[in-house]
Amino acid sequence: MMVFCTLFNSSYFSRFLAMYRSLKRHCPGYRLYVFPFDNESMDLLQKMKLTDIIAIPLSDFEDENLLKVKPFRTKVEYCWTVPPSMIYYIFQNYHEAHCTYIDADIYFYNDPTALFEEWGNRSVLLTEHRFTPQYDTSAIFGKYCVQYISFKNDANGLKALLWWRDVCIEWCYDRIEDGKFADQKYLDEFSGRFEGIHVLQHKGGGIAPWNVQQYNFNTDGKSLEAIEKTTGNRFPVIFYHYHYVRFYPDATIDIGDYQLTRQTIDIIYKPYLAQLQDIKNELKQYNIGFDPHGPRTIDNSWNARIIRIKRRIKGRYNRYPVKKLIP
């Protein structure tokens, strides 16, 4: 049994539901702990009666240490603060032998059992960003991405997990300071501090907009295969991380500040965005009072306009009318 956990709020509900359904479709045996971060998302979960999940309200999960720092973190910073505490809570209260934190905006295209089998008897599994060279900011933001991180409930796993939990509670902000950034720059220290660390080698785990330039894709409509441009090696895509997908009120969608080929947009993004839109339409039956894609406003400040101009010049302006991405 593979054990996962994730967090989200009502603004990320469509992404969570897409992730959950992709996991259900491709993983033969799993348990998913979910931490809804607002009442709206918890209420909707209860109405939908989803199977194979255990929903944990914040009132059960948040301890004194988290509540102490919560007022001093933004919503995003607090979401970055809590993943190690979530895993520890699951170990303490549900006695799972292992747990993998996954971001709610990843999507599974093939069975993740291959990642679990590669992990083997090691205590911690890390996934690298594997940046395409022109986007390599690992020295600033970290070599590893929290998107998919696994811990065993053993001595080495707990030692690393509790250290990560403590430092995230002490400092976890959306800024660069003294070699730290958010929750993920801490992961650079794991190999030097702890035993039983394994870095994922399967390149199908962790394809994302910052490394997708390295691959071509084939699909049969049910699964997805990546082909390395440099070697020609083929492997199944286990999951893709849909970082920075934003729906705007002017009927446009921004899919990120990275160079994306037409093939990537057609094969990777369009089907996913169509699923998100189908989910939004499906949720209307529950009379929800929120946008499951998240409320967005368009920043028309001079600074934001200059950034958009620079993105256009660099060929990284991926904002399109909804009708162009979702037929």
CB atoms within 10 A of CB 177: 9
CA dihedral for 268, 274, 278, 279, sign (positive or negative): positive
Q: Using alpha carbons, select from 259, 36, 242, 268 the residue that is nearest to residue 133.
A: 259
Question: Partners of 239 in the beta sheet?
Answer: 108, 205
Sequence spans of domains, the chain: 2-207
Q: Using alpha carbons, select from 1, 20, 4 the residue that is nearest to residue 12.
A: 20
Q: How many CA atoms lie within 13 A of 226 on its CB side?
A: 26
pLDDT of residue 272: 97
> CB–CB of 235/203 below 8 Å?
yes
Whether this prediction's pTM lies above 0.75 is answered by: yes
Please tell me the distance from the alpha carbon of residue 73 to that of residue 84, in angstroms, as a whole number: 16
> CB–CB of 148/127 below 8 Å?
yes
Q: Does an H or E element contain 251, and which?
A: none
Q: Which two tokens stand for residue 287?
A: 């009379």
> CB–CB of 267/224 below 8 Å?
yes
Cα angle value 18/102/274 (rounded, 5°): 20
Q: Which two tokens stand for residue 312?
A: 């256009």
> Taking the domain 2-207, which CATH number applies?
3.90.550.10
The secondary structure of 103-131 as a DSSP string is: -TTEEESS-THHHHHHHTT-SEEEEE---
> CB–CB of 217/267 below 8 Å?
yes
The label of the residue with tokens 């010049």 reads: 313
pLDDT of residue 259: 94
> CB–CB of 12/31 below 8 Å?
no
| Per-residue model confidence as pLDDT tens for the chain (327 residues) | 999 999 999 999 999 999 999 999 999 899 999 999 999 999 999 999 998 899 999 999 999 999 999 999 999 999 999 999 999 999 999 999 999 999 999 999 999 999 999 999 999 999 999 999 999 999 999 999 999 999 999 999 999 999 999 999 999 999 999 999 999 999 999 999 999 999 999 999 999 999 999 999 998 877 899 999 999 999 999 999 999 999 999 999 999 999 999 999 999 999 999 999 999 999 999 999 999 999 888 888 888 888 888 888 888 889 999 999 997
Q: Using alpha carbons, select from 249, 265, 250, 272 the residue that is nearest to residue 318.
A: 265
